[in-house]
Amino acid sequence: MPCSSINATTGGGSDNGSLRNFKLNESTFLASLMPKKEIGADRFVKDHPEYDGRGAVIAIFDTGVDPAAAGLQVTSDGKPKILDVLDCTGSGDIDTSNVVKADANGSIRGASGASLTINTSWKNPSGDWHVGCKLVYGLFTDTLTSRLKKERKKKWDERNQEEIANAVKIVDEFDQKHAKFEDTDLKRTREDLQNRVDLLRKQADSYDDMGPIIDAVVWHDGEVWRVALDTQSLEDDPQSGKLAEFEPLTNYRTERKFGMFSKLDACTFVVNVYDDGNILSIVTDSSPHGTHVAGIATAFHPEEPMLNGVAPGAQLISCKIGDSRLGSMETGTGLIRALIAAVEHKCDLINMSFGEPTLLPDYGRFVDLANEVIDKHRLIFVSSAGNSGPALSTVGAPGGTTSSIIGVGAYVSPAMAAGAHAVVEPPCEGLEYTWSSRGPTADGDLGVCISAPGGAVAPVPTWTLQRRMLMNGTSMASPSACGGVALLISAMKSEGIPVSPYTVRKALENTCLPVGSLPEDKLTSGQGLMQVDKAYEYIKLSQNIPHVWYQVKISQSGKSTPTSRGIYLREASSCTRSTEWTVHIEPNFHEGANNLEELVPFEECIELHSTEKAVVRPPEYLLLTHNGRSFNIVVDPSNLSSGLHYYEVYGVDCKSPWRGALFRIPVTITKPSVIVSRPPVVTYSKMSFQPGHIERRYIEVPFGATWVEATMRTSEFDTTRRFFVDTVQLLPLQRPVKWESVVTFSSPSAQSFAFPVVGGHTMELAVAQFWSSGIGSNEATLVDFEVAYMVFHGIDINKEEVMLDGSEAPVRIDAEALLASEKLAPVATLNKMRVPYRPVEAKLCALPSTRDKLPSGKQILAMTLTYKFKLEDGAELRPYIPLLNNRIYDTKFESQFYMIWDVNKRVHAMGDVYPESSKLPKGEYTLQLYLRHDNVQYLEKMKHLVLFIERNLEEKDIMRLSFFSQPDGPVMGNGSYNSSVLIPGKKEAIYLGPPTKDKLPKYSQPGSVLVGAISYGKLSNAGQGIGKNPTKNPASYEISYIVPPNKVEEEKGKVSSSRCTKSVSERLQEEVRDAKIKFLGTLKHGNDEEKLEWKGLVTQLKLEYPKHTPLLAKILECLLAQSDVKDKIHHNKKIIDGADEVINSIDREELAKYFAFKSDPEDEDAENIKKKMETIRDQLAEALYQKGLAVAEVEFISEEKASAKATIEGSPDVATSGDEPVQRPGVPSNLFEEIFGELKKWVNVKSSKYATLLVIREKRCGRLGTALKVLNDMIQEDGDPPKKKLFELKLTLLEEIGWSHLLRYEREWMHVRFPACLPLF
């Protein structure tokens, strides 16, 4: 995720931007908005104006960069600022594989169905036009979409109010004209007019703007691929936004041109065409973040140089890795494509202001490829460290956890505080923001390499309707550092100094200005605040020294695994004794280094230093060659006090000590205090805080503790104070277990917390006063952080994860209080259901585009897995893939993405590694999972990947499980258990009973898993409802229940009590007949031969079984299923004839007599007869219904032809109204009314199954308001997925009524409900 937009951290320092009695003037104020002085960039550019980034190219891995944003058009030397703009995520991809030809009028049919006129000046030698379309909101950010929706709704409401006023006026005029109306027709007319008013009012309440659709056209002009968009749907003026008026664009890299959708959105975009015109990528940003980042690094404002970015002469490429479909979350696909693009464009630098927590540092597919890019192609990779501070070990991946990447922390100077942040009184010294992530990593690496200013007022996209804005975060620190490195690269290239990420990084780290005076401050700020001018001097001195990265691998002596990059003693057991560690230093050269000229001669005499030999003792010297060297160091923390201690072992070149540390071995010791009192009580009193100050405490959590209850009291301050309170524990192969809270005190008071802990592991408690909180006050804040009575609570159980196997047997749970007496009050609920699915199809393909070819030349492959599932009712659900979910960087798989769509191809949900729940209506669904990698064997192993559909149970279906004191309790119903008090040293057993089978959700399937949570303890300050919900308890665990096989139905297999009066021969004939009818339904009739065969079988069966209603109903069903009908009138007459045959085969008098009497439900024979008669009635109703539809369509088509003929011949149209439709050619005038009247006798014509006929009738009679009301009711009542024919009928009614604003609204929704094609991955 982007690492920006928060505030704060701590530090001290010597000359790191500190300025006592700091005062601003206009010049220093402007400079503070885009800080450069802090890192020496202003001094460097003043001394070397030609080295302002010229010649350096930066790849911005972010949310996308707006090429129209202020300061991002040209460099300081007049070159194009942005060389390319790419959407690496695919979120803007449009399928343009559909190729059409223009008609004689120069028009084509767009993918949306709209007729588009081609500009005659456009060159297209082939005549092939690739068409596609996209809902434009899918290209916009949520913020922009929200603004547009608000503005569009305002205009829509105005139009709707006009129509309501007109409709009300017509009603009033009717009432005045007809004071009394007894006539049925007048009543219906009055009802119709009122329905129109009601419909307009209801529509205003249900308005939901899904956005307009844009048509895209792609063609090859003989030289390049060209793109034009039709954006009429975005414009108020129907004459604006036409395709023919669009100035064609090509790939941004070719001409560096961009477009804007409309003046209303003010959103710029660029286009790129892939796969021979079959994929169009429309590139927009997914957040202002990327443009802001690019502005900090490179913006050039000739009219106001103070607002220039750090390297105004640098160029950049924009690589969008924040997927618009996911709200700007990065994806594996985006990350890998961005690396490919950076190499392809021969970039010098990468800036990535994104990151996530990780369970494995310096590991994963992206890390492997980034290492390759850095090592082989010599790119310098700069990234944000994260915004998860102030606790230690909170650095994120990849910036804070990857050895080859320069991780940057966020620094704020007094000038930044006074200017950009506009605080009343700036701090007297610069410091790290409170939220800036800290090291070390889980394997002991420092985590933060360097620091840079973490806030700026920088350019933002035009759609924000402002030129620049303030953002802060390590996201801002990273481009500040990256811009500083671009200055160095500019100088190196100008002076012919070879560029190496190894040399540059060493120069940065060894010339930093320390932030803070304590050794452990390095965990916050890295080596300190980078200084461009000093780094430049270092690089000049180092230009003839081999480009080497000193890889450090450490293991505890006697153990080969695991290896680490530093020494991190965190647990109490490792802080009480001396340990010996083996350190292996291996010099790594860039790929392609010459064996004889570089590797063989490499030999360095290294002097090893320790910052505190009493604790960390290394050997004194080391002779290092290309093949590396190992040595041992001894760490003795036994005499240290509890708390944080940081040391380093570093190596210095004996011959060139000016080079500084060639490598560093971080040694972090967090020696915890041990709680010996019982009950366990901890109190930290009178902690004094100033703005930015952090207090850290380390506690060995007692074994058996599972949660903590704590109280924070403040006193002796005046203005409002804001605190960050964090706790962190580190467990093997897990992301840091972190709890955090931000607390604001407006006056001295107390706050209570409860949070989970893991017994036996060290917990850091970090309490920090926000860096800008309390500034201007001369009073320190006094804080008592106390673990009062029974703070460390815990109930030890014999199984943390409980599984009920589906049997009637309960699960025994042993509980024990190890610390103090605890109330055992177990609560367990099952609130989710996971149903496993295997793919029904797996497709493997090689991706065709060059954007998916790795720098090594390998082509990336894609595996698409298809899953099918069905919902009998609406549900909230998400896909769950245990193997792949919740890992972006710490996984060897490249990427994953899923989409869920219905039978109409409407996409209801999509996501990647963090799937979210979505509400889906009843229906059948397809889920496709898209996996990418260049290794075909990895993908082949995924062909049968199990995926779970996890469904959230409704409140009425949530199961609250019962506890028992006896093993037979669930069956016998006795021994119910509620609560008891656990005494330390004494175990107590309880039994968790399974849910009763009749309480299982009706949709639960055998083999599915019900999951939920279980908790055992009770908070001392538990509020209302907490005791009923285990997830609200800070210490809760997962519980699961396997749904068993269904019970065998008691009636199944019983012989019917009714007597069978038919002979075996008669029954055999019926079975054969029914089999033939069933077979008839399976026949295809796509081509002429198949139709002839079907017709022959129909004729034969009619002769064999004349007037057999099921056969005739099946024939009618087959006629209705026929597609590709050329002569619709002829086809509908066949349907009418088929329906008549069904109707005539039924004795309607006998049927009516039967339904006039009630049958005995206890009589099995009577029930069987009832089912048979109901089936016959349904067949009759269906035949009448289909006949009515066919008659209406014949009339409609005939009318259209007659109208067209009349128009040609100049004959006037004949208007009709009321309940007496005029004579229609082709059918008797009263036939429809006869059919409708007959249907009303048998079924409720207002039901969703038959209401279409009622809609048509009301439409024929001119009562369009009533017709529309019936249609709306029908659509709402229909539980099945939307039917396109119904909505097309709705469009017809709206068009006839003349409600253009509703017509436009519904047409936009048609593209949502019934998209032309599925979106691309």
User: Three-class SS string for 163-217?
Assistant: HHHHHHHHHHHHHHHCCCCCCHHHHHHHHHHHHHHHHHHHHHHHCCCCCCEEEEE
Q: Is the pLDDT of residue 723 over 60?
A: yes
Would you say how long the chain is, in residues? 1321
Cα–Cα distance, 469 to 479 (Å, whole number): 16
Q: Model confidence at 13, in pLDDT bands (50, 70, 90)? A: very low
Q: Is the pLDDT of residue 911 over 80?
A: yes
Q: Is the pLDDT of residue 1021 over 80?
A: no
* H/E element, 1172: helix 1164-1209
285: Cβ contacts below 8 Å, ≥ 6 apart: 63, 64, 65, 66, 141, 291, 320, 461
726 is catalytic: no
pLDDT, position 39? 97
pLDDT, position 778? 65
What mean pLDDT comes out for the span 200-205? 92
Structure token pair of residue 71: 């300061």
Q: Model confidence at 541, in pLDDT bands (50, 70, 90)? A: very high
pLDDT, position 774? 81
Q: Model confidence at 45, in pLDDT bands (50, 70, 90)? A: very high
In this structure, of 647-651, 913-917, 1015-1019, the range with the lowest mean pLDDT score is 1015-1019
Q: Is the pLDDT of residue 20 over 50?
A: no
Cβ atoms of 784 and 685 within 8 Å: the answer is yes
Question: Given strand 923-933, what is the order of strands in its sheet?
Answer: 841-846, 861-871, 923-933, 895-902, 907-911
pLDDT, position 1229? 59
pLDDT, position 1225? 44
pLDDT tens digit sequence for 249-293: 999 999 999 999 999 999 999 999 999 999 999 999 999 999 999
- Residue type for 756, please? P
* H/E element, 760: none
Collapsing DSSP to helix, strand or coil, 382 comes out as strand
Distance (Å) of CA 1169 to CA 1068, 1069, 1163, 1180? 21, 20, 10, 16
Collapsing DSSP to helix, strand or coil, 1308 comes out as helix
Q: Which of 42, 52, 62, 87 is catalytic?
A: 62
Cβ atoms of 710 and 791 within 8 Å: the answer is yes
Q: Is the pLDDT of residue 12 over 60?
A: no
pLDDT, position 760? 93
Q: Is the pLDDT of residue 748 over 90?
A: no
Backbone angles phi, psi at 111, to 5 degrees: -65, -25
Q: Which of 388, 404, 413, 475 is catalytic?
A: 475
pLDDT, position 4? 67
Q: Model confidence at 29, in pLDDT bands (50, 70, 90)? A: very high
- The dihedral through the CA atoms of 1105, 1109, 1114, 1116 has a sign that is positive
pLDDT tens digit sequence for 768-822: 999 998 876 666 767 766 543 337 888 889 887 899 999 999 999 999 998 888 9
Q: Is the pLDDT of residue 21 over 60?
A: no
What mean pLDDT comes out for the span 155-166? 94
DSSP 1213: P
In this structure, of 558-567, 660-669, 859-868, 929-938, the range with the lowest mean pLDDT score is 558-567
Mean pLDDT taken over the chain: 90
Which parts of 221-266 fold into alpha helices (H)? 252-255
415: Cβ contacts below 8 Å, ≥ 6 apart: 17, 19, 22, 24, 28, 31, 32, 35, 37, 38, 426
Distance (Å) of CA 516 to CA 429, 1090, 1099, 1272? 10, 86, 96, 69
Look-up: residue for tokens 């809270």? Answer: 741
Q: Is the pLDDT of residue 567 over 50?
A: yes
Of all residues in the chain, what percent carry a pLDDT higher than 90? 69
- Pick from 389, 405, 402, 415: nearest CA to 39: 415
Cβ atoms of 396 and 385 within 8 Å: the answer is yes
DSSP 564: B
Q: Model confidence at 18, in pLDDT bands (50, 70, 90)? A: very low
pLDDT tens digit sequence for 830-844: 999 999 999 999 999
Structure token pair of residue 324: 């618009």
Q: Is the pLDDT of residue 117 over 80?
A: yes
- Residue type for 1232, please? F
Burial label for 484, CB within 10 Å (0-12, 13-18, 19+), is: buried
645 is catalytic: no
Long-range contacts from 101-107, C-beta under 8 angstroms, 24+ separation: 101/127, 101/128, 101/129, 102/127, 102/129
Collapsing DSSP to helix, strand or coil, 377 comes out as helix
pLDDT, position 14? 38
- Residue type for 636, please? D
Count of beta carbons in the 10 Å neighbourhood of residue 1046: 11
Cα–Cα distance, 701 to 717 (Å, whole number): 32
pLDDT tens digit sequence for 1179-1218: 999 999 898 888 888 888 887 777 777 766 664 444 444 4
pLDDT, position 992? 94
- Pick from 1317, 330, 1312, 1321: nearest CA to 865: 1321
Cα–Cα distance, 299 to 313 (Å, whole number): 8
* 861-871 and 923-933 beta bridge pairing: antiparallel
Structure token pair of residue 124: 């297209």
Backbone angles phi, psi at 335, to 5 degrees: -65, -45
Cβ atoms of 1274 and 1255 within 8 Å: the answer is yes
Cβ atoms of 456 and 506 within 8 Å: the answer is no
What mean pLDDT comes out for the span 918-939? 95
pLDDT tens digit sequence for 791-801: 788 888 988 78
Count of beta carbons in the 10 Å neighbourhood of residue 841: 12
What mean pLDDT comes out for the span 868-889? 94
pLDDT tens digit sequence for 206-255: 999 999 999 999 999 999 999 999 999 988 787 889 999 999 999 999 99
Q: With DSSP H G I counted as helix, E B as strand and the rest as coil, what are the percentages for the chain, rounded to 5?
A: 30, 25, 40
Phi-psi region of 40 (alpha: psi -120 to 50; beta: other; left: phi over 0): left
Q: Is the pLDDT of residue 514 over 60?
A: yes
Q: Is the pLDDT of residue 185 over 60?
A: yes
pLDDT, position 1208? 66
Phi-psi region of 716 (alpha: psi -120 to 50; beta: other; left: phi over 0): left
Q: Model confidence at 1125, in pLDDT bands (50, 70, 90)? A: confident
Cα–Cα distance, 956 to 1110 (Å, whole number): 42
Q: Helix axis angle, 1231-1242 relative to 1164-1209, nearest 10°?
A: 160
Q: What is the largest CA-CA distance in the chain?
A: 114
Look-up: residue for tokens 């640098």? Answer: 314
Cα–Cα distance, 96 to 1317 (Å, whole number): 10
Q: Is the pLDDT of residue 628 over 90?
A: yes
Count of beta carbons in the 10 Å neighbourhood of residue 670: 28
Cα–Cα distance, 452 to 1063 (Å, whole number): 94
289 is catalytic: yes
CA dihedral 386, 392, 393, 395 (to 10 degrees): 10
Cα–Cα distance, 85 to 270 (Å, whole number): 7
What mean pLDDT comes out for the span 1040-1060? 66
Q: Which of 192, 215, 289, 345 is catalytic?
A: 289
Q: Is the pLDDT of residue 1024 over 60?
A: no
In this structure, of 627-636, 785-794, 884-893, 931-940, the range with the lowest mean pLDDT score is 785-794
What mean pLDDT comes out for the span 1215-1229? 46
* H/E element, 985: none
